[in-house]
Amino acid sequence: MNAKLSELSGTKLTDGFHLIIDALKLNDINTIYGLPGIPITDLTRLAQAQGMRVISFRHEQNAGNAAAIAGYLTQKPGICLTVSAPGFLNGLTALSNATVNCFPMILISGSSEREIVDLQQGDYEEMDQLAIAKPLCKAAFRVLHAKDIGIAVARAIRAALSGRPGGVYLDLPAKLFAQTMPVATGKQSLVKVVDPAPKQIPAPDAVHRAIDLLKRAKRPLILLGKGAAYARADADIRALIEKTGIPYMAMSMAKGLLPDTHAQYAGPARSYVLAEADVVMLVGARLNWLLSHGKGKVWGEIAPDAWGKQQFIQIDISPTEADSNVPIAAPLVGDIGSCVSALLDDIGASWQQPPAEWLEAIAAQKNKNIAKMALLLAANPTPMNFHSALNVVRDIVNANPSAMLVNEGANALDFTRSIVDMYQPRKRVDVGTWGIMGIGMGFAIAAAIETGEAVIAIEGDSAFGFSGMEVETICRYQLPICVVVLNNNGIYRGVDVNPTGGLDAAPTVFVKGARYDKLMEAFGGIGVNVTTPSELRQAMEVAIKSKKPTLINAVIDETAGTESGRITSLNPTLSKDT
Ligand code: ADP
Ligand code: TZD
Ligand code: MG
């Protein structure tokens, strides 16, 4: 029925714009991270008018990263909204990264007219976006008729959240938005998704098998990954660890699931326990490159061939994760909440603590490493180095345990991960599975929006550059974000020279003495330049207290970093003969 006819007959109409917003709101999705333009400008306006929070970014990749981490932090898919072709492609990196990291997210992009795109007749921002998105995310859908919007949004939500979470692409051709239908029919077409992430209960024999193996272990270890943090089974995970007395390790985003100061935390003895454990129980962590594929190299350090002889229990929602790198003796397939609670039921009252020999060996190793680190942290060299700067951050996080910590860079990442203790679950978000640069400001913005907590972003100067323009967004929304740029004049270090003697700087080196703090001042935020730990401490304390957008340019010794941070071993080296 066209608009005129409906007016005549008195039927009120709705359109594609309204239906999309109604469908999201019906499913308790109330925030959109995006960037306006044809054909979705009115969608952003209408969303705001209808009471949704619309956070408008300067580049879609940052909006996409914001949506992705919002998904991780809330267990609801984060929404990123972009224009067609280039905007879509800008968002796609974030969608793909979300999928790789198992973060639930939906990228909604406007697209050009199907008829023109399919005949390749050169429409405005023409691109077959659905085909491009498909291999890079968990699921991709296109909606051609307004009556299908409800079901499409439902499918997208279910695909993002169920099983292993991930990124979903929703393609909305421009014509869809203006399509109308009677309000009542439109309402009926919407779907409230029931139980979008159904529990997956593990099989009892798989639970017994896991417990059996754990009981026989002489040197057991529990390894928590970000899947465990995402699952929000915090109390049961803690109970399992404390009841069994088994030492545990946390992957970077699982830090704080139990406080890093917990007596059973083996983090400071990482290399030792990874090499020496005989049975390792993985809880929402994959045996990918971050764990040397379970085969024996730990962050570049070659462990004795113990890894090959280790036995694994793996708790994961994805059945095909088991045996992906090494044989898994006891796969436990299900959601982490159900699996951990089944394990707790099964261990019974008469659990034997792990052999004292193992616990003592870990404690000795841990104490040795902590003492070594304490010396480095206490030193106060000039210029400031990563350790003396991060010693301050460590204290600030200790004093503000509910603050969110965002972290990217190479040395800036690796040192922060090992120096800054976390105390609460899901407070640390970082470069994740890909080790991707550019998540910084997007993650920081969504962390502030979704949690309402103060956010501390510890950034390498290179890492910061990937999303630095979003300081304007931070100022515009007046977010309580304190960005600390650990500025060592470049990628890894600032000391490389151009071997030809030419005028171009070496590829890893930036403008010396750059003042990133001025960037924040340009938009009305607080910028501070610091060269000593006490100046850094003062500036961070003021920032956290004031909740004002702040950027601290922390001048770090440009010789302090190492190539690739702590993953030097992954770097192919030049042959000496070439
Ligand atoms: P990390 O990088 O911290 O080691 P990974 O991203 O490699 O963590 O692994 C996370 C794992 O957690 C993935 O294999 C994913 O399938 C799994 N996972 C995510 N959510 C759940 C859940 N609710 N229950 C069970 N497994 C989950
Ligand atoms: N591009 C993208 C998207 N991701 C990447 N990981 C890289 C490039 C390569 N890369 C790293 O792995 S770390 C890094 C780059 C460019 C920056 C390191 O420099 P930094 O940190 O200033 O951020 P440090 O403290 O100087 O090591
Ligand atoms: Mg740097």
Q: Which residues line ligand 2 (CB under 6 A)?
A: 409-412, 435-438, 460-463, 486, 488, 491-492, 561, 565
DSSP strands (E only) in 296-408: 297-298, 301-302, 311-316, 330-333, 404-408
| Average pLDDT score, the chain | 95
Q: Give the model confidence (pLDDT) of 172-214 as tens digits.
A: 999 999 999 999 999 999 999 999 999 999 999 999 999 999 9
pLDDT-based confidence at residue 573 (cuts at 50, 70, 90): confident
pLDDT > 90? residue 2: no
- Does the C-beta of 253 come closer than 6 Å to ligand 1? yes
Query: 247 and 273 in contact (C-beta within 8 Å)?
Result: yes
Rounded to whole angstroms, the Cα distance separating 146 from 144 reads 7
pLDDT > 60? residue 301: no
Ligand nearest to the CA of 385: 2
Mutational pocket test of ligand 1: of 226, 251, 252, 282, the residue with most ligand atoms within 8 Å of the beta carbon? 226
Q: Give the model confidence (pLDDT) of 536-559 as tens digits.
A: 999 999 999 999 999 999 999 999
Mutational pocket test of ligand 1: of 316, 426, 433, the residue with most ligand atoms within 8 Å of the beta carbon? 316
Q: What is the pLDDT of residue 411?
A: 97
Q: What is the pLDDT of residue 218?
A: 97
Dihedrals phi, psi of 517, to nearest 5 degrees: -60, -30
pLDDT-based confidence at residue 13 (cuts at 50, 70, 90): very high
- Mean pLDDT computed over 502-523: 97
Query: 16 and 179 in contact (C-beta within 8 Å)?
Result: yes
Output DSSP code: residue 192: P
- Mean pLDDT computed over 498-521: 97
Least confident of 103-112, 255-264, 523-532, 565-574: 565-574
What percentage of residues in the chain have a pLDDT greater than 90? 92
pLDDT > 60? residue 306: no
Q: What is the pLDDT of residue 563?
A: 87
Query: 60 and 106 in contact (C-beta within 8 Å)?
Result: no
| Ligand 2 atom index nearest CA of 465 | 23
Q: What is the pLDDT of residue 299?
A: 43
Least confident of 156-160, 251-255, 345-349, 463-467: 345-349
- Does the C-beta of 341 come closer than 6 Å to ligand 1? no
Query: 86 and 125 in contact (C-beta within 8 Å)?
Result: yes
Burial class of residue 362 in the structure, from the number of CB atoms within 10 Å of its CB (0-12 exposed, 13-18 middle, 19+ buried): buried
pLDDT-based confidence at residue 256 (cuts at 50, 70, 90): very high
What percentage of residues in the chain have a pLDDT greater than 70? 96
pLDDT-based confidence at residue 63 (cuts at 50, 70, 90): very high
pLDDT-based confidence at residue 308 (cuts at 50, 70, 90): low
Query: 502 and 450 in contact (C-beta within 8 Å)?
Result: no
Structure tokens that stand for 250 in this block: 């946390």
Angle (CA) 569-291-247 rounded to 5° is 130
Cα 444 to averaged position of ligand 3 atoms, centre (Å): 19
pLDDT > 70? residue 302: no
Q: Give the model confidence (pLDDT) of 213-225 as tens digits.
A: 999 999 999 999 9
- Does the C-beta of 316 come closer than 6 Å to ligand 1? yes
| Ligand 2 atom index nearest CA of 436 | 4
Cα 262 to averaged position of ligand 3 atoms, centre (Å): 32
Q: What is the pLDDT of residue 64?
A: 99
pLDDT > 90? residue 96: yes
Least confident of 125-139, 384-398, 496-510, 553-567: 553-567
- Mean pLDDT computed over 153-173: 98
pLDDT > 70? residue 519: yes
Q: What is the pLDDT of residue 297?
A: 58
- Mean pLDDT computed over 515-528: 98
Rounded to whole angstroms, the Cα distance separating 94 from 106 reads 10
Q: Give the model confidence (pLDDT) of 128-148 as tens digits.
A: 999 999 999 999 999 999 999
Q: What is the pLDDT of residue 257?
A: 98
**Measured between alpha carbons, how far is residue 506 from residues 117, 328, 437, 462, 509 in Å?**
43, 46, 20, 14, 5
Which residue lies with its CA nearest to atom 10 of ligand 2? 437
| Ligand 1 atom index nearest CA of 227 | 12
Q: What is the pLDDT of residue 569?
A: 72
Structure tokens that stand for 142 in this block: 């296109």
- Does the C-beta of 318 come closer than 6 Å to ligand 1? yes
Which residue lies with its CA nearest to atom 5 of ligand 1? 285
